[in-house]
Amino acid sequence: MYDYDLVVVGSANADLVIGVERRPAAGETVLGSDLAVHPGGKGANQAVAAARLGARTALVARVGDDPHGRLLLDSLSSSGVDTAAVAAGGAPTGVALITVDPSGDNSIVVSPGANGRLTPEDARAVADRVLRPAPVVSAQLEIPLETVTEVVRLLAPGTRFVLNPSPPRELPAGLLAACDPLIVNEHEARVIAGDGALGDGPEEWARALLALGPRSVVVTLGARGAVTAEAGGDVTRVPSVRVDAVDTTGAGDAFTAALAWRLGLGESLPVAAAYAARVGAVAVTREGAQASYPTAEEVAAL
């Protein structure tokens, strides 16, 4: 019996959100809505999304000893996330500056802050009591790459590692080989594989990414659904769920969290991805990131 269903290693940010009629071009100033502050960060988002669905979830992260850090810890705790491995101090809490247009699309700039101080030593300190007692561990790249690499080294035999490489960058072969799955959108796929290595459609993108060494790949396509691919297996198109999008902030994190959780329950990759697509669909119908994440009952109702 595992102590957790999912452990997330990653970032925790305060999201500073402004609505705009359109995002500014270079050198341009546009007026926006009143500033809204929400708890966010890919790691914290994924942990909250999984916990809201009913998963026993822990987060390994670092925040500042400041009001934004306390906002994040309160949101995590109130959602049922175990925060015993969330360290405080060393730098201000990370901040994401987000603009959202009327269609719900967003642009994001992140100041890592304390996220950049989440070290391999931090991972080693919680390996026995947090990382190893979980069937699935999920990570992203808003924390140092060397910390993510150390997490993989520390995992217990049989633990499944899920990586959303955002923001994308070139990845070492050993890290790619551990991914099961590697979850990317089109932009992330192009950065990791290189434009010249990708084919004409998402199925070809998935195959090209598999050739780099991951055990499995998921390519998310927003309103067009997703594609899953497994080494030696089939490439499967996962249909989207049609909803009226209000705000896409954090929807990818909800998808990743739901997918990782369901894989830990023993579901196949296409089935888990189909469930994750429904979770993401509910999330985009609401404003904000963590505040938009549904319960399992709300997903079933959709």
Catalytic residues: 253
Instruction: Give the DSSP H or E segment for 204.
Output: helix 202-210
Q: Give the SS3 label for residue 299.
A: helix
- As given in the structure block, the two tokens for residue 82 are 């175990």
CA distance 66 to 150: 28
- As given in the structure block, the two tokens for residue 283 are 């999330």
CA distance 238 to 271: 9
CA distance 272 to 83: 26
- As given in the structure block, the two tokens for residue 213 are 């060494």
| Phi-psi group of 262: left, alpha or beta (phi > 0 → left; psi -120 to 50 → alpha; rest → beta) | alpha
